[in-house]
Amino acid sequence: MTSFSPTDVAFEGFRLTRERPRAVIAWACCYLVFTFGLGIVAQLTLGAQAETLIANFRAAANDQVAAEAAMQKLTPFVVGGLPLYFAFQAVFTCAVYRAVLRPRESRAGFLRLGWDELRMFVLNLILSLLWGAVLFGVAMVTAVAAEAASTTAPSGMVLIGDVTTLVMISMGVMVLVRLSLAGPMTFAERRLRVFDSWRLTRGSFWRLFGAYLLAFLLGVVVLLLMFMVISAIVGVGVELSGGNPFASLNVGSASPAILAVAFVSQAAGAFMLTCFLVVWKAAPAQAYKDITGGRYPP
């Protein structure tokens, strides 16, 4: 096993963005198509009430009963949208991994539809179920601790509940980090590898955690800076077009200028989130490459 530099891992996404700008643009277009696809699924499954139902769900975030009721109404959209989400994640993730681990396969912006993507689809589904189980466990422990604190009220019980919750969250983070190389392993070795990452990351938890945390924080900073710049540009476009493209946009009645500004804002948002995802997804691929010393099937 070869050592690795956490800073090199954290900055790999920025290197890709700098050296492969056309690929990043292709990935942003893929992201934009995905968002439009979700919009189509929402219209097909929820009809004319799609925007209202989604807005109600967001507004009920702090009300568990209202959130459950809103979620039930969104079930058709979730059922229809999840396969599209996992398909997009598989294609996008494999494209980033391909750029890091197989840089010679640069045709079509590293985007493909094949066995690599199918394996990644299955892996993402398995890891999502596993991570969902971990989050459910954390939520259950937190709920039990909160109930105990509310009924008994002594400060000692509150402290025990807080410590228990913190321990459960820490365990969840540990599982997430230790299994973070499952994706790069599955892609590089061309076979489904779920728990082999646990062996490969032995003794590297803190360096991996530091690399991922640094990549996340840097990605958030860049995302905020890009958001400020693009918001200013879109704001100027709104003023010039004489309207607000985000307020009750009606495609049939909106002016071409309003539609153009709305589309530019959507494209800019897709580009921003794409850059953030590249930084986030390139980090484990580079970590796997460094840890294995590049010794994996070409």
pLDDT digits (tens, 9 = 90+) for 156-179: 555 665 666 677 778 778 888 999
244 occurs within a structural domain: yes
Q: Rounded distance, CA 193 to CA 13, Å?
A: 23
pLDDT in tens, 245-262: 444 444 444 556 666 666
Residues 275 and 20 sit within 8 Å (Cβ to Cβ): no
Token couple for 173: 């983070």
pLDDT at 252: 47
Number of domains in the chain: 1
Q: Locate tokens 């292709």: which residue?
A: 26
pLDDT at 2: 61
Phi first, then psi: give them for residue 114, nearest 5 degrees: -165, -160
1 occurs within a structural domain: no
279 occurs within a structural domain: yes
297 occurs within a structural domain: no
pLDDT at 45: 79
Dump the DSSP string for 202-236: TT-HHHHHHHHHHHHHHHHHHHHHHHHHHHHHHHH
* Amino acid occupying residue 288: Y
37 occurs within a structural domain: yes
pLDDT-flagged residues of the chain (< 70): 1-2, 50-51, 53-68, 70, 138-139, 141-165, 233-262, 297-298
104 occurs within a structural domain: yes
Length of the chain: 298
249 occurs within a structural domain: yes
241 occurs within a structural domain: yes
pLDDT at 139: 67
Domain that holds residue 111: 6-291
Q: Rounded distance, CA 192 to CA 186, Å?
A: 5
DSSP state for residue 109 in the 8-state scheme: G
Which value, in Å, is the radius of gyration of the alpha carbons in the chain? 22
Q: Locate tokens 């993402």: which residue?
A: 124
pLDDT at 264: 73
Alpha-carbon distance values, 217 to 38, 70, 213, 220 (Å): 28, 32, 6, 5
State how far Cα 27 lies from the chain centre. Answer: 14
Dump the DSSP string for 48-68: GGHHHHHHHHHHTTT-HHHHH
Helix axes 205-241, 256-291, angle to 10 degrees: 170
Q: Rounded distance, CA 289 to CA 274, Å?
A: 22
pLDDT at 210: 92
Residues 26 and 233 sit within 8 Å (Cβ to Cβ): no
pLDDT at 156: 53
pLDDT at 246: 46
Residues 23 and 109 sit within 8 Å (Cβ to Cβ): yes
